[in-house]
Amino acid sequence: MSIALRQQRKRRSFKMAIVVLGGCLWGLGLPAVAADDFAPDSHPRVQALVDELAARGLPRDWLTATLSRAEFNQQVLDAMAGAAEHHLRWDEYRDIFIKPERIQGGVEFIAAHREAFERAQAEYGVPAEIIAAIIGVETFYGRYTGSHRVLDSLATLAFHHASRGDFFRGELAALLEISNEQDVDPASLQGSYAGAMGYPQFIPTSYQAYAVDFDADGKRDLWHNPVDAIGSVGNYFARHGWQPGGPLYVEARGPATPPASVEFNRTRRPYAGLAELAAQGIEPQGTAHGAAEGAVIPLALELAGGATRYRLGYENFYVITRYNHSHLYAMAVSVLAERIRSALEGEA
């Protein structure tokens, strides 16, 4: 017997042992790392997804073969736990994105696709700098769209994430539907560790709901077509209630220590009244938009040395958080958009 054949048999025996152990760990709700971690015939929950999608008309054999090719990726789970939004101060998070090269990149991206940006603003009411800032923060204008196989990321999260498995199961189902509809091999698609794809980093359900064929070529291509990406981001914002011409936020002053009685940094619709905040020593600097009784999102941004910067977010700030449910993300997009607009006005 050749050395290669003996090694092959050893690998098969090891694989079978892992499959048995994986099944036990799966039943205990623990991650099972096996070569066939998502083979439907080995795992009832994966088989249930196949049954569900087959009932919607997707080819059963294709589903089984596709999911059998998915691989567990522990790095995806680790990345989810360590996302920058969870542990950085505002100044640390800000300095990742608010750099001269990213501002200039936004100016150049708008110049390269000016007609698409103008049309997006006309159709959706979303300014060019806001759309550009989203794509700039997400992928540096398409330069970095992710190196994870989306199939692996979503399968790992769907069946191994401790608290959001159901959410990612829906994203995995959407990915399979999109791939079958577009006749694309889902294993060929790359994106972020969370399964976001293309220039704007849409997750699969967002692609289904908001992606548009903005250049009318018959395809909604967010992976290679910046024009489709520009229109799709504009459509996303408009569908989430973007108010054309409305403000994002206003600077505010407040006490050295944020008062415990105020709920800060909640990414929901404006919920705190200006009068209520004034009673706690938090007031807008300059002119606040809207009536005194209007609601805002109070923001207390942590800086180095324990300092706090206060800002008050408006409805459009809330809309940005529908793209990413982090107040730091929404603030980074807001500031980058401001810097891009200033650079464009300076050029003009």
- Report, as residue numbers or ranges, the catalytic residues: 138
Beta carbons within 10 angstroms of residue 297's beta carbon = 25
Q: Give the separation between CA 17 and CA 137, rounded to whole angstroms.
A: 44
Among all chains, which residue has been given the structure tokens 């529908």? 322
CA angle 44, 47, 53 (to 5 degrees): 145
Among all chains, which residue has been given the structure tokens 């936020």? 249
| Identity of residue 239 | R
Among all chains, which residue has been given the structure tokens 């994002």? 248
What are the start-end ranges of the H helices in the chain?
Answer: 3-27, 44-55, 60-68, 74-81, 90-97, 100-112, 114-124, 128-139, 150-160, 165-182, 204-210, 226-239, 274-278, 315-321, 327-347
137, HSE (Cβ side, Cα atoms, 13 Å): 27
92, HSE (Cβ side, Cα atoms, 13 Å): 11
User: Which residues, listed in sequence order, are joined to residue 312 by a DSSP beta bridge?
Assistant: 250, 298
What are the residues whose beta carbons fall under 8 Å from the beta carbon of 8, sequence distance 6 or more? none
Residue 211 in tokens: 């992606």
User: Which residues, listed in sequence order, are joined to residue 301 by a DSSP beta bridge?
Assistant: 309
Question: Contact, 43 vs 81, CB < 8 A?
Answer: no
